[in-house]
């Protein structure tokens, strides 16, 4: 993606002449006064995968990282014990956080009794690790990425961190092309981009929608920011986390201090099926994303009626169908597997049906898409909560 186009969000594309060694030296130098940590949410199956084993090996060879916080979710006691062997190459830099430890869950229930934190999901796992990192106060910059990146290498982390650690942007969002032997990223290609275009078509010019439309891969799980900013973040507990965090950055950080950076020429990770269950797979992801958008738009004064939904749904379908032909040409020009246009159109139709489901969920909940409260608020509501969270994560079995 070596181009120089700039629109709303400052954009750093990857050029063939990039100076990776120089960037890493500057990050290493800056890390002495600006310690760096990385948060990785993971199910045990992700942690035990070959992809994560490669990630651990790469992270172990990054001396500029002070800490690696692995938020282990929905894991049994036996899986928690096995997880220690997987992260052993990281030595004392690893912090394995077992979210299902009884003592940890008691603290979660205590928080939920004071203010709702939503259901379990990726967002909750990220939030738990963030709470621990803030409670320890041992890093100044936090990077976030997934546990299932098949194409991971150290250059991804260097590119992601550089705009924050050295250029002093307050938030960096990763982008890349997702493909293997075929074009991947169906939720981004067939839902997000045509959906946001439909919002612009229906609502007209709105700064927030223009901002959200400018990200080249808005659903990437990789971003970096300062711990002080992360302390202010509210975001959904579910698959709406990426959209929710971008929305929060729009609220917290001036757009010219936000950036997006190309971290890899190609990116691939675990793929999910579209499925037919609206509560699972990519359909659940689409519903969570759409509901997060509805909530953000309503909170900015936009009235979302049934007429709005009908118009939005039809406009989305028109946009998405037009994109299919473009992606067919893209696949053909790049010698990847030919797209099944019928399957692509069926996926679009399934996503369109989920728009109505998300709309009903938005109206059923008084606050639309419930956001996990920021840790700064919880420190005010529950004095000493971060210290308690740190204590139980470091002694999950309650040993004396």
| Three-class DSSP labels, 90-155 | HHHHEEEEECCCHHHHHHHHHHHHHCCCCCCCHHHHHHHHHHHHHHHCCCCEEEECCCCECCCCHH
Reply yes or no on whether the pLDDT at 397 is more than 80.
no
Question: Is 1 a residue whose pLDDT tops 80?
Answer: no
Indicate if the alpha-carbon torsion angle 360, 363, 365, 367 is positive or negative. Answer: positive
Is 337 part of any domain? yes
Q: What percentage of the chain exceeds 70 in pLDDT?
A: 94
Residue 5 lies in a domain: no
Residue 201 exposed, middle or buried by CB count within 10 Å (0-12, 13-18, 19+): middle
User: What mean pLDDT do residues 375-389 have?
Assistant: 95
Q: Determine, yes or no, domain membership for 342.
A: yes
- Any idea what the CATH number is for the domain that residue 340 is in? 3.90.550.10
Of 261, 284, 281, nearest in space to 271 by CA = 281
Query: What local confidence, expressed as pLDDT, does residue 22 receive?
Result: 97
What is the C-alpha to C-alpha distance for residues 367 and 371, in angstroms, rounded to an integer? 9
Confidence bin at 136 (pLDDT 50/70/90): very high
Give the pair of three-digit tokens for residue 86.
Answer: 């997987």
- Residue at token pair 């692509």: 344
4, part of any domain: no
Q: Supply the range of the domain harboring residue 339.
A: 11-266+275-392
* 65-73 vs 141-144, strand pairing mode: unpaired
- The dihedral built from the CA positions of residue 29, 30, 35 and 39, taken in this order, carries a sign that is negative
In angstroms, rounded to a whole number, what is the distance separating the alpha carbons of residues 133 and 278? Answer: 34
User: Does some domain include residue 2?
Assistant: no
Residue 122 burial (10 A CB sphere; 0-12, 13-18, 19+) = buried
| Residue 223, helix vs strand vs coil | strand
Residue 161 inside a domain? The answer is: yes
Q: What pLDDT does residue 142 have?
A: 98
Residue 271: pLDDT over 60:
no
pLDDT at 274: 62
The CA distance from 45 to 120, in Å, is: 17
* Residues near 102 by beta carbon (within 8 Å), at least 6 away in sequence: 396, 398
Q: Do 217 and 188 contact (CB within 8 A), yes or no?
A: yes
State yes or no: pLDDT of 268 exceeds 80.
no
What confidence score (pLDDT) does residue 336 get? 85
- pTM value? 0.92
Confidence at residue 177, expressed as pLDDT on a 0 to 100 scale: 86
User: Number of structural domains, the chain?
Assistant: 1
Q: What is the pLDDT of residues 18-49, one digit of tens each?
A: 899 999 999 999 999 999 999 999 999 999 99
What is the average per-residue pLDDT within 219-242?
Answer: 92
**In degrees, to the nearest 5, what angle opens at C-alpha 215 toward C-alphas 209 and 218?**
95
Residue 397 maps to a domain:
no
Residue 237 reports pLDDT greater than 90 = no
Give me the pLDDT at residue 119, please.
84
Residue 65 DSSP class: E
Quote the pLDDT of residue 400. Answer: 47
CA distance 38 to 371: 22
pLDDT of residue 170: 98
Burial class (CB in 10 A: 0-12, 13-18, 19+), 381: exposed
Encode pLDDT of 161-183 as tens digits. 999 999 999 999 999 987 777 78
3-state secondary structure of 226: strand
- 398 is a domain residue: no
- The secondary structure element, H or E, covering residue 68 is strand 65-73
Look at residue 5 in the predicted model and tell me its pLDDT: 86
Q: Is the pLDDT of residue 108 over 90?
A: yes
Those residues with Cβ within 8 angstroms of residue 25's Cβ, 6 or more apart along the chain or in another chain: none
Q: What is the arithmetic mean of pLDDT over 60-79?
A: 97
Q: What pLDDT sits at residue 239?
A: 79
């Amino acid at each position: 993606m070596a181009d120089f186009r700039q629109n709303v969000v400052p954009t750093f594309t990857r050029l063939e002449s990039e100076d990776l060694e120089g960037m890493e030296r500057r990050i290493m130098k800056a890390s002495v006064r600006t310690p760096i940590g990385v948060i990785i949410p993971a199910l045990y199956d992700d942690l035990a995968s070959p992809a994560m084993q490669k990630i651990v090996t790469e992270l172990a060879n990054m001396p500029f990282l002070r800490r690696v916080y692995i938020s282990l979710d929905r894991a049994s006691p036996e899986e928690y014990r096995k997880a220690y062997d997987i992260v052993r190459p990281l030595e004392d830099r690893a912090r394995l956080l077992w979210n299902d430890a009884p003592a940890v869950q008691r603290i979660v229930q205590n928080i939920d009794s004071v203010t709702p934190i939503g259901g379990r999901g990726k967002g909750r796992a990220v939030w738990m690790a963030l709470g621990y990192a803030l409670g320890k106060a041992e890093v100044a910059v936090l990077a976030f990425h997934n546990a299932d990146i098949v194409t991971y290498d150290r250059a991804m982390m260097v590119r992601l961190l550089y705009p924050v650690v050295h250029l002093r942007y307050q938030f960096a969002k990763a982008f890349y092309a997702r493909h293997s032997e075929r074009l991947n990223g169906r939720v981004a290609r067939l839902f997000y981009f045509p959906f946001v275009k439909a919002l612009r078509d229906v609502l007209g010019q709105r700064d927030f929608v223009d901002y959200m439309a400018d990200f080249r891969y808005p659903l990437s799980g990789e971003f970096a920011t300062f711990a002080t900013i992360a302390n202010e973040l509210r975001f959904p507990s579910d698959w709406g986390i990426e959209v929710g965090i971008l929305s929060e950055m729009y609220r917290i950080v001036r757009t010219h201090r936000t950036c997006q950076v190309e971290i890899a020429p190609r990116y691939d990770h675990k793929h999910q099926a579209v499925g037919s269950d609206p509560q699972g797979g990519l359909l659940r992801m689409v519903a969570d994303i759409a509901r997060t958008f509805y909530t953000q738009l309503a909170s900015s004064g936009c009235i979302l009626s049934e007429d709005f939904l009908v118009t939005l749904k039809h406009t989305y379908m028109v946009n998405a169908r037009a994109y299919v032909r473009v992606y067919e040409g893209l696949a053909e020009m790049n010698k990847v597997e030919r797209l099944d246009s019928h399957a692509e159109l069926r996926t679009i139709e399934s996503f369109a049906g989920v728009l109505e489901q998300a709309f009903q969920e938005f109206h059923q909940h008084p606050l639309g898409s419930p956001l996990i409260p920021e840790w700064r608020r919880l420190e005010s509501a529950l004095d000493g909560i971060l210290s308690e969270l740190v204590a139980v994560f470091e002694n999950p079995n309650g040993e004396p």
